[in-house]
């Protein structure tokens, strides 16, 4: 999934840059379409697992919205960006929260995001003069990178956009980690996905869209839903790079993710120590 890889890559670059420097128009249309998708999902949910792919995705969006949080795990075929795992909370779409641990630049680091506020953490307290977290400067680039990451880890956003604006089809029945699922596939324009990231500024959306289109102007998004219409797994890739470059995101323990809170103020180190995390 190119866009999650984009977010983590941009976030890493922005962290390094911050340390070294010493520290739109499609919105209304998307809202209308998303509303139609919710109506279809409500009817579909009442009737059980719907056969129509659009209705199935819309129903799954409602199920995931009700769950509100869960555990997430991201894996990548790119050895330089192996992914991470942790928890996510998407109850408030304008303030998606993440608490994940992964590898960056060969270091095991923690990323915590609460809306527009982002933190980088490490168990290596010696590198941070006894602290465990650093608040990332809320610059345009960094804010956009973490906002994108939050949006892309929000399953409700993904499902709603695919149901309302994509061209979904059923691939078949497949087993994912021993669970029988229905595999659905949606094809959508990159611009449609970016327009759905309503928490980004117009400038951030333009920048993200330009980067995403390096992999193609069309996205293929695969969803695996279990018999409860819960999203178990999804992948995304551009038409230029193909499925071999897709990153996989898995969801589990829905509704049991726990609250993601900001690190204690007393455990925040200096932004000047950011580079030490990558040294």
Task: Give the count of alpha carbons within 13 A of 80, CB side only.
Answer: 6
Q: Dump pLDDT digits (tens) for 156-213.
A: 988 998 998 878 999 999 999 999 999 999 998 888 777 777 666 677 677 677 767 7
Q: Cα–chain-centroid distance for residue 68?
A: 14
Q: Dump pLDDT digits (tens) for 237-276.
A: 888 777 777 888 999 999 998 889 999 999 998 877 777 7
Per-residue model confidence (pLDDT) at position 35: 39
Which of the pair, 44 or 155, is modelled with greater confidence?
155
Per-residue model confidence (pLDDT) at position 82: 58
The answer, yes or no, to whether residue 10 has pLDDT greater than 50, is no
Domain count, the chain: 1
Please, are residues 257 and 89 in contact by the beta-carbon 8 Å criterion?
A: yes
Range name among 13-22, 76-85, 223-232, 264-273 with the lowest pLDDT average? 13-22
Alpha carbon separation from 231 to 21, 176, 234, 249 (Å, rounded)? 41, 11, 8, 10
CATH of the domain at 68: 2.50.20.20
Per-residue model confidence (pLDDT) at position 129: 82
Residue-range definition of the domain harbouring residue 79: 2-278
Identify which of 49-53, 126-130, 223-227 has the greatest average pLDDT: 223-227
Please, are residues 166 and 34 in contact by the beta-carbon 8 Å criterion?
A: no
d(CA 226, CA 158): 16
Which of the pair, 5 or 172, is modelled with greater confidence?
172
Q: Dump pLDDT digits (tens) for 109-119.
A: 888 888 878 88
Burial class (CB in 10 A: 0-12, 13-18, 19+), 32: exposed
Per-residue model confidence (pLDDT) at position 25: 31
Q: Tell how strand 107-114 and strand 117-121 pair up.
A: antiparallel
Per-residue model confidence (pLDDT) at position 173: 95
pTM of the model: 0.78
Within 87-180, residue ranges assigned H as helices are 140-152, 155-165
Q: Dump pLDDT digits (tens) for 11-65.
A: 443 333 333 333 323 333 333 333 343 443 344 344 456 789 999 999 999 999 9
Per-residue model confidence (pLDDT) at position 15: 39
């Amino acid at each position: 999934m190119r866009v999650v890889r984009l977010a983590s890559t941009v976030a890493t670059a922005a962290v390094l840059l911050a340390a070294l420097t010493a520290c739109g128009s499609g919105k209304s249309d998307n809202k209308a379409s998303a509303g139609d998708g919710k109506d279809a999902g409500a009817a579909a949910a009442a009737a059980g697992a719907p056969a129509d792919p659009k209705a199935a995705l819309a129903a799954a969006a409602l199920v995931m919205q009700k769950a509100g949080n869960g555990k997430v795990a991201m894996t990548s075929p790119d050895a330089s960006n192996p992914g991470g795992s942790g928890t996510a909370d998407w109850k408030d779409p304008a303030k998606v929260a993440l608490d994940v641990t992964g590898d960056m630049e060969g270091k095991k680091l923690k990323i915590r995001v609460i809306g527009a506020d982002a933190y980088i953490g490490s168990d290596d307290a010696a590198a941070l003069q006894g602290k465990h977290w650093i608040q990332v400067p809320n610059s345009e680039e960094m804010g956009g990178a973490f906002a994108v990451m939050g949006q892309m880890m929000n399953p409700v956003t993904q499902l709603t956009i695919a149901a309302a604006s994509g061209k979904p089809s059923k691939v078949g029945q497949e087993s994912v980690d021993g669970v029988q699922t229905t595999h659905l596939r949606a094809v959508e324009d990159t611009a449609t996905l970016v327009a759905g990231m309503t928490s980004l500024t117009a400038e951030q959306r333009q920048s993200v869209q330009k980067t995403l289109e390096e992999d193609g102007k069309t996205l293929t998004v695969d969803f695996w839903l279990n018999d409860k219409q819960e999203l178990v797994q999804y992948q995304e890739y551009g038409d230029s790079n193909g499925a071999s470059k897709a990153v996989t995101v898995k969801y589990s323990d829905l509704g049991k993710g726990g609250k993601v809170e900001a690190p204690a103020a007393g455990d925040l180190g200096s932004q000047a120590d950011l580079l030490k995390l990558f040294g």
